[in-house]
Structure 1
Amino acid sequence: MFEDPAAAPEYDPFAPQPPFKPRRNPARRWTAAAFVAGISMLLGTGAILYSGAPGIAAQLGLGIGGEAETVLRFTDKAVELKTMPNGSEALVVSGKVVNPTGDKTHVPDIRVELRDGTDQLVYSWRIAPEARAIGPKAALDFTGAKIDPPPNAKVVELSFANEIGG
């Protein structure tokens, strides 16, 4: 078709188009994305455990999330087992939270723990106080109930729940 090889066309349909760009490796991009996502998840989990996942850290046994450090005290504690009209029982826990200091103080949730005769935790729940702050030398009433408490619960313990984890 072409008689003179020097007169052949300059166009080659299989030649790379200028400027030539090398093929990208999608596996490298996905690996980098997975690495960034993993680091982000680790940082997020650490932030949640450090700054406020109620109960999670204590359930994982990480040492954070015990009792809250507070100057507040419990007084007039009462535990009563009442029979409801429908035949079920209700364990009613009540009392007062007292602020003995001269400053306004934050009131954390109240943790109620039911324990058996061997001091093993049987059940626990939180009571949200009526107010989140208590004035100097003031008292705040609280009441909480559990319908049909575990029959092997023998001891009731009250404490202030840590805002971080318990």
Structure 2
Amino acid sequence: MILECSQCRTRYLVPDSAIGADGRTVRCASCKHSWFQAPAILDLATRAEPEAPPPRREPRKPAEAPAPATPPRVFEDASVQAPTAPEYDPFAPQPPFKPRRNPARRWTAAAFVAGFSMLLGTGAILYSGAPGLAAQLGLGIGGEVDTPLVFADKNVELRTMTNGNEVFAVSGRIVNPTTTKQHVPDIRVELRDGSDRLVYSWRITPMGRELGPKSAIDFNGARVGLPPNAKVVQLSFASEIGG
């Protein structure tokens, strides 16, 4: 049955059994108004429709008898031998079977091949001189490079940013004084204290790896948060592999 609050006109759908045959006091959940709800009025004039009779079940047909099997062939001529099944010998050699593959062994072999390929690829990248990659990975032998290239117009500057941090900037030019094309290695920046002890270092990747004869290219690099005891700056050409 449907209940309607007389105050806020909120309607509720509740089962007849919740009100009962004698009625009960109910309360609106919206405005908290309470009233007595009379039970639902039974409609005795409406007659229930008769139920439809169950469907008639057809009698089951008897199952048909299976067709008679074909009688075995009888060989009347004694000179004709009936075919016989080969005798089973449990000790006879069996045909060879394919060995079952071991999936774990296949995955191990695939992982080994993939790891070996990655090792070869890394070696090829390091050998070809990928800029700064070996230094970032911590691989290689390090050391300075013997090259005819020289530094020119070197400039060291300590700048203060708007947020108060100090930026140490290094710039200059790399000059090729020879008449042949030269390979440009990485630039190593070393900061040393008053006792010539190394306190900080980093690498600068050049703008190009090849420098023509009698030509030059610019370089620059910067770092923040350097040690306060750094007093001397040294520039050198370093190996592209390692430290």
Bucket of the pairwise TM-score, normalised by the shorter protein: 0.5 to 0.7
Aligned equivalents of 1:92, 1:154: Cα separation in 2:
14
TM-score, length-normalised on structure 1?
0.64
Mapped pair 1:59 → 2:59: no
Aligned equivalents of 1:38, 1:133: Cα separation in 2:
33
> How is 1:10-159 mapped onto 2 (pairs within 5 angstroms)?
20-52=97-129, 54=132, 56=134, 59-60=138-139, 62-63=140-141, 65-116=142-193, 117-129=195-207, 131-159=208-236
Q: 1:99 to 1:38 in 2, by over 3 A?
A: closer
Contact 2:186–2:203 (Cα < 8 Å) also in 1:
no
Count residues in correspondence.
152
Deviations 1:46-94 (A, max 9, x none): 444444463536934x42x433332110123221222234322121212
Contact 1:67–1:161 (Cα < 8 Å) also in 2:
yes
Structure 1 residue 157 displacement after superposition:
1.7
Q: Larger relative CO (CA 8 A, sep 6+): 1 or 2?
A: 1
Aligned equivalents of 1:121, 1:96: Cα separation in 2:
25
Q: 1:80 to 1:99 in 2, by over 3 A?
A: same
Contact 1:51–1:164 (Cα < 8 Å) also in 2:
no
Point out the more displaced range, 91-100 or 115-124. 115-124
Q: Pairwise CA RMSD of aligned residues?
A: 3.6
Aligned equivalents of 2:97, 2:205: Cα separation in 1:
69
Q: Which has the larger radius of gyration?
A: 2
Aligned equivalents of 1:40, 1:78: Cα separation in 2:
44
Structure 1 consecutive aligned stretches of length 4 or more whose deviation exceeds 6 Å:
7-11
Q: Secondary structure at the match of 1:23?
A: coil
Letter paired with 2:200 = V
Q: 1:73 to 1:120 in 2, by over 3 A?
A: same
Q: Secondary structure at the match of 1:56?
A: helix
Structure 1 residue 98 displacement after superposition:
1.7
In the alignment, structure 1 segments of 5+ residues that lack a partner are 1-6, 12-16
Deviations 1:112-162 (A, max 9, x none): 222344523423131433x54433323333332223323232222212243
% identity of equivalent residues: 66
In the alignment, structure 2 segments of 5+ residues that lack a partner are 1-83, 89-93
What's the counterpart of residue 160 of structure 1?
Answer: 237
